[in-house]
Structure 1
Amino acid sequence: MSFARVRALVVVGLLGVLALVFVVVALVRDTQSEAGIGGGCPEGWPMADVTLREPKDVKINVLNGTDQIGLANKVANDFRNRKFQIKKTGDEKKQIEDIAVLRYGPKGVGSAHLLRAYFLDNAEAEYDPKRTDDTVDVVLGSAFQQLATTTEVNQSLGDLGSPVAPPGSCPTQQD
């Protein structure tokens, strides 16, 4: 073996050892290991589940906030065809002028984020920090026409980005 090859192997070996030391030091001194998991959350704040859910994992109640008869059942069937879990359908007591209103608690933040995409981010969000279930109430309003297509939902999710914990709550990821 020539001296040039030995020198090249020594240099490459030293660079490999240096890279390994650098990685070990970076992992040991990592100060962000609790980032995004509610590390510095004030006591008493609810932990908001900001995991973006699959439709099959989302539980919803579909309520009709219009005078159109049967709208909640029709839209609930559309959601069932898209693999959502429908817990109940019914009528809302007061009329809604918007496209839709999404009512949810800390456990439903990720689910409500997904549902916003089905209304192309035109649904009004009503967060209730005292709500304890992971079900989202979808209240249909008089401006509602139809749910978004799969392509529109995917584009809307891209525009919306990742779910964010509402003010007064701390983000957490559930598996």
Structure 2
Amino acid sequence: MAAADLWLTGSGTEMQLARIRAIAIISTLAIIGITLAVITLNRDTQSDAPVTQSCPAGFVPVDNTLPDSESEVKINVYNATTTVDLARNVAADFTNRKFKVEKTGNERKAQPDIVAELRYGPKTVGAAQLLKAYFLNDVEPVFDIKRENDTIDVIIGGQFKQLATPTEMRQAVAALGRPLLPEGTCAEKP
């Protein structure tokens, strides 16, 4: 019996050594994997790089994303016709549609041959697209690359009749598609 006990004990030691080797190999592989993952994440430059770095030299980044809601859009409404209180009435229509109307007034230069003109800058390219839809894309867009504020000027012309209904506006937004980047600009957001 003593020989049998010795044989079992020797066999148990070999199995124990095999387990220790297996655990050591697995632990080493796990440490190597974790180390490589940490190094990769630390050296990753994509996660911290702003999107605007992809703009070519001399180009101005613009926000061409459509707003989630009209309440995110600030506008000024100006009357370029001889119709009294037109800017105030159109501003009330925009307010009913949840736009933030900042100012109303009269435009110095009469514009009898247009429905509307939109004057906007880099911060409002996407918002201007939404406004175009309320005029069924029958507007004169005037992009000013040097404009720094986030308000759009809406100049109402002599051909204006009324703003589009919500259904017409949604159809017009779908027809217009994604806002085009004005010349000399690049997308600020993907």
TM-score, length-normalised on structure 1?
0.76
Q: Please say which structure displays the higher CA radius of gyration.
A: 2
Quick one: which amino acid aligns to residue 118 of structure 1? Answer: Y
Cα distance in 1 for residues equivalent to 2:89 and 2:143: 25
Distance in 2 (CA, whole Å) between partners of 1:167 and 1:83 is 30
Matched with 1:113 is: 129
Aligned position for 2:62? 48
SS in 1 for 2:54: coil
Structure 1 contact 50–172 (Cα < 8 Å) conserved? yes
Give me the CA root mean square deviation: 1.9
Inter-partner Cα distance in structure 2 for 1:173 and 1:153:
24
- Whether the 8 Å CA contact 1:164–1:171 is kept in 2: the answer is no
**Offset at residue 115 of structure 1 (A):** 0.1
Runs of 4+ in 1 over 3 A off after TM superposition: 37-40
Contact 2:58 2:184 in 1 (8 A): no
Tell me the SS of whatever aligns to 2:131. helix
Is the 8 Å Cα contact of residues 52 and 111 (structure 1) preserved in structure 2? yes
| Partner of residue 176, structure 2 | 160
> Whole-Å Cα distance in 1 between the matches of residues 149 and 58 of structure 2?
18
- Structure 1 residue 135 corresponds to structure 2 residue 135: no
Kindly tell me the number of residue pairs found equivalent between the two proteins.
Answer: 141
Give the SS at the match of 1:80.
Answer: helix
C-alpha separation between the residues in 2 aligned to 1:119 and 1:73?
A: 17
- The residue matched to 1:51 in structure 2 has which SS? coil
Given residue 57 of structure 2, which amino acid in structure 1 is its aligned partner?
E
Equivalent residue for 2:187, pick from 158, 167, 171: 171
Aligned residue identity for 2:82: D
How far residue 164 of structure 1 moved from its aligned partner, in angstroms, is 2.2
Alignment partner of 1:94 is 2:128: no
Q: Give secondary structure in 2 for the equivalent of 1:89.
A: strand
For 2:33, the equivalent position in structure 1 comes to none
- The one-letter amino acid paired with 2:181 is A
Secondary structure at the counterpart of residue 162 of structure 1: coil
Corresponding residue for residue 80 of structure 1: 95
Give the superposition deviation at 1:73: 0.1
Conserved 8 A contact 1:104-1:127: yes
- Structure 2: state its 5+ residue gaps: 1-45
- CA offsets, 1:112-150, max 9 Å, x none? 000000000001100000000110000000000000000
TM-score of the pair, normalised by structure 2: 0.70
Q: Which residue of 2 aligns with 1:71?
A: 86
Worse-superposed segment, 107-116 or 39-48: 39-48
Contact 2:75/2:151 (<8 A) preserved = yes
Please say if 1:61 is aligned against 2:76.
yes
| TM-superposed deviation, 1:172 | 1.5
